[in-house]
Structure 1
Amino acid sequence: MATERPRTTPVARVLQVCLHLLVAGLLALAVARAVVGRGAEPAAVVAAGTAMAAVYAAGPLVGAVRRSRWSTVFWLAVLGVTWVGVLTTTQDGVWLAFPLYFLELHLLGRRGGLVAVAVTAVTAVVAWSWHQHTVGFAAAIGPTLGAAVAVVTVFGYQALYRESEERRRLIDELTAARAGLDAAHHTAGVLAERERLAREIHDTLAQSLSSIQLLLRAAQRALPDRTEAAADYVEQARRAAQDNLAEARRFVRALTPPDLESGSLAGALERLCATTTAHAGLPVRLHVSGDPVRLPVPHEVALLRIAQSALGNTVRHAKASHAEVTLSYMEGEVALDVFDDGAGFDPARAAADADGDGGFGLPSMRARARALGGTFAVESAPGEGTALAVLLPVAPATEDSP
């Protein structure tokens, strides 16, 4: 398996250029000293230096060296052989050990790079001692110190790079999370506004049109038979009011929460229970009793929102092992019960505390129920779970009811 190399950054590219220049400069210096100096064979040094330069230059140009670990190892081995050739002809070849340290650490990774650096340092010490015809501390200090500096520099840079990448990843995650949160807030705001408009239309326009229709029906029945023209006008007004009432009802239904758009209240509660079970890991079962009927939209919205709030509180606070939701259809009434076997709480104390759930607490549930003429009750105690009950007086939704 090839060692994973970090992505090339502008700093890394600058360091690569500096490394290339360092190798070229040290090779040129070794050859120049051999040509103008004494004690070395200039032809041999030039040949060895040219061979090493050719092999070094071929590395970045061969694609296999960048893609395959074994190709990289082979190239470094051939480069090392040519470097030994330079070492054999001139002691100045020891200087090239320093850039080779960086090259090996960069291409071979931590473990392989340390082994290669150790071999290179030992080779440099042996070659220097051979040229000086003596073995001593002075022969070992230069290559060893250079190897230590190279290891500390490369590993320090890699640690800083990893820290920078981790910070960049965290920033990307935070940016994505913020975008998701903004989208969620926008969606929540849209849904809340839809619900508010539906409630306002139902409580004002639809109720007024319904009253007008009832009054016109009464006036039509009270008119004498001889006032046929007036009765005809009243009938036209009643039909206009009825048409406007139907249009208002369609508008209210268009503003219904998405969970209620594709089916009945029981279906929306079933999806709510399944979603809570899947996302929160809390088993929630739905029970439906009685004969399901279509309820007025405000009643269905209120019961769904109360169920969402109750299950949300159960997930956040109750630490329950399971929960149950019961929807009961009765003559002129509909009941919603939510039970969990969680930690429970003191309802009296909770009622005295300020509600901090942003509209999803007990006061909000109670207000929803009372707004529709219903009742709301909570039974709970610490360690004994929680039972929540909502009872709404309703009549089945028909075309003539708002």
Structure 2
Amino acid sequence: MTQAIRQESDDSRLLAVIVHSAFYVLLAASLLRWLIKHSDTRSTPLIVVLSVLIAVLYAVSELRRSGRLVWFSLLVLTWSVLVVLAPSFAWCAVPLVYTGLRILSERVAVILVVVLTGLVVFSEVRIAGWLDPNLVLAPPAVAAVTTALFVGMRRQAERQSALIDDLVRTRRELAATERREGTLAERQRLAMEIHDTLAQGLSSQRMLLQAADLVWDSDPQLAHTHLRSAAAIAERDLTEARRFVHDLAPADLAAGGSLPAALTALADRESTDTWTVRCHIEGTPGPLPQRVEASLLRVAQGALANVREHAGATVTTITLTSLDDQIVLDIADDGVGFDPATNAASAEHRGHGLPAIRARVRQLGGTCTIESAPGDGTVLTAAIPLDTTGGDPCAR
């Protein structure tokens, strides 16, 4: 767009140079013709003075932006006097018509063209008389065509200018919208990362610290064990915080760790005396894109956080199943369960648990389903389609 505007400016500048050059060539030719044929007349000095004055006025009217209409009016008035005295200067009207159409309003410019054309016809008739209809009809016809073309081009240029302004404004609005969407997406990413890592770790630390406080006097060794576990969780959460701030892979997947190994380590960490977390791997997962592995691990972390906070389960099983066209993650617990139909609306507005899990799976083009009933536990299933050609499913 910028290149088109620059090209249009260059074309206008070139046209102006051609018109200005044509004016001075016509002025010089008219003066030379007068000197050759009428050098001995008494009005010759006046013709020369008026020609020089017109040349100066034309240059001033083009160079000065302040008072330009005044200078142009003096130029037209001087030319009118000159063409009455010397009809051969009538050809200078063509550049004057161009300048008038360029700097005046459309209505005033048309009136100026009519006046200048009338003076041209008058000067031609003075020289050749009324016997040549071409001298009477040709100037108005040429002036009409020229005016129509110029007015049409100016209107088209105005429409193009308005269109360019609309496009520029639309581009700015689109850029602002993209920035807002990017900001919201980054906020959502941070919210999900905080929920699946720091919030979960803080919840575990709170439980361990509460347990340590309960047995601090009766079993100091067990209390210290809880404290050491809380410190280990805090250290791991600090590593996770640094990694998601820099948008890196989870710590369990860093240094070439696989998704099955990360899920197994997660199950071992989450298991307590009252809550057993198991991990089963069915099939042999092939190489997965880093984003898929990271998202499935975060889904498992978020699901376990929900189970620990709401389900009251004693056993939770993580199952990773590799199929030909998809990879499926199941988290099943034996907790209190709930009715998905009656709790769907409230679940969407309660924290970042299930909404964050659904958002992660949806970003990968997958599906997330929840099967539960009061008293029968809950099964959360996240299925991610795989590109059998080895590509990233996120790019499809």
TM-score, length of structure 1 as denominator length: 0.51
SS of residue in 2 equivalent to 1:152? helix
1:119-198 correspondence to structure 2 within 5 Å = 119-134=115-130, 137-198=133-194
1:48 equivalent in alignment to 2:44: no
**1:239 Cα shift?**
5.7
* Distance of aligned partners of 1:364 and 1:35 in 2 relative to their CA distance in 1, 3 Å threshold: farther
* Distance of aligned partners of 1:143 and 1:42 in 2 relative to their CA distance in 1, 3 Å threshold: farther
1:2-401 correspondence to structure 2 within 5 Å = 9-37=9-37, 44-45=43-44, 47-61=46-60, 65-68=64-67, 72=69, 74-134=70-130, 137-201=133-197, 204-223=200-219, 231=220, 234=222, 366-369=347-350
Q: Which string of whole-angstrom CA distances, capped at 9 and with x for unpartnered residues, describes residues 8-46 of structure 1? A: 922222222112111111112222223334x67567456
The separation in 1 between residues aligned to 2:35 and 2:188, in whole angstroms, is 87
The separation in 2 between residues aligned to 1:170 and 1:371, in whole angstroms, is 40
One-letter code aligned to 1:12: S
SS of residue in 2 equivalent to 1:9? helix
One-letter code aligned to 2:216: Q
* Distance of aligned partners of 1:209 and 1:370 in 2 relative to their CA distance in 1, 3 Å threshold: closer
Q: Which string of whole-angstrom CA distances, capped at 9 and with x for unpartnered residues, describes residues 58-85 of structure 1? A: 34436995223xx51x323332333234
One-letter code aligned to 1:52: S
**1:187 Cα shift?**
0.6
Contact kept? 1:209, 1:244, Cα under 8 Å: no
The separation in 1 between residues aligned to 2:62 and 2:94, in whole angstroms, is 25
Q: Which string of whole-angstrom CA distances, capped at 9 and with x for unpartnered residues, describes residues 225-250 of structure 1? A: xxxxxx2x55555566678899979x
Contact kept? 2:84, 2:123, Cα under 8 Å: yes
**1:151 Cα shift?**
0.9
Contact kept? 1:220, 1:235, Cα under 8 Å: yes
One-letter code aligned to 1:366: A
Corresponding position of 1:338: none
Any unmatched runs of 5+ in structure 2? 1-7, 245-304, 307-340, 355-396
SS of residue in 2 equivalent to 1:67? coil
The separation in 2 between residues aligned to 1:107 and 1:41, in whole angstroms, is 39
The separation in 2 between residues aligned to 1:210 and 1:50, in whole angstroms, is 101
One-letter code aligned to 2:65: R
One-letter code aligned to 1:204: Q
Contact kept? 2:208, 2:226, Cα under 8 Å: yes
One-letter code aligned to 2:15: L
The separation in 1 between residues aligned to 2:129 and 2:62, in whole angstroms, is 42
**1:112 Cα shift?**
1.2
Corresponding position of 2:280: none
The separation in 2 between residues aligned to 1:12 and 1:52, in whole angstroms, is 27
**1:196 Cα shift?**
0.6
The separation in 1 between residues aligned to 2:188 and 2:234, in whole angstroms, is 23
The separation in 1 between residues aligned to 2:200 and 2:53, in whole angstroms, is 89
Cα RMSD between the aligned structures? 3.9
The separation in 1 between residues aligned to 2:162 and 2:89, in whole angstroms, is 40
The separation in 1 between residues aligned to 2:212 and 2:74, in whole angstroms, is 104
One-letter code aligned to 2:140: T
Identity %: 14
Q: Single out whichever of 201-210 and 151-160 deviates more from structure 2.
A: 201-210
The separation in 1 between residues aligned to 2:96 and 2:80, in whole angstroms, is 12
Corresponding position of 1:305: none
The separation in 1 between residues aligned to 2:159 and 2:227, in whole angstroms, is 74
Question: What is the aligned residue count?
Answer: 248
SS of residue in 1 equivalent to 2:130? coil
One-letter code aligned to 2:56: A
One-letter code aligned to 2:24: A
Contact kept? 1:94, 1:127, Cα under 8 Å: yes
Contact kept? 1:210, 1:241, Cα under 8 Å: no
**1:177 Cα shift?**
2.2
The separation in 1 between residues aligned to 2:39 and 2:129, in whole angstroms, is 15
The separation in 2 between residues aligned to 1:175 and 1:160, in whole angstroms, is 22
**1:192 Cα shift?**
0.5
* Distance of aligned partners of 1:370 and 1:20 in 2 relative to their CA distance in 1, 3 Å threshold: closer
One-letter code aligned to 1:102: Y
**1:110 Cα shift?**
0.7
> Could you list the runs of 4 or more consecutive aligned residues of structure 1 that deviate by over 6 angstroms after TM superposition?
240-249, 370-373
The separation in 1 between residues aligned to 2:15 and 2:52, in whole angstroms, is 19
The separation in 2 between residues aligned to 1:64 and 1:25, in whole angstroms, is 19
One-letter code aligned to 1:215: A
**1:164 Cα shift?**
2.5
* Distance of aligned partners of 1:101 and 1:198 in 2 relative to their CA distance in 1, 3 Å threshold: same
The separation in 2 between residues aligned to 1:31 and 1:154, in whole angstroms, is 28
SS of residue in 2 equivalent to 1:153? helix
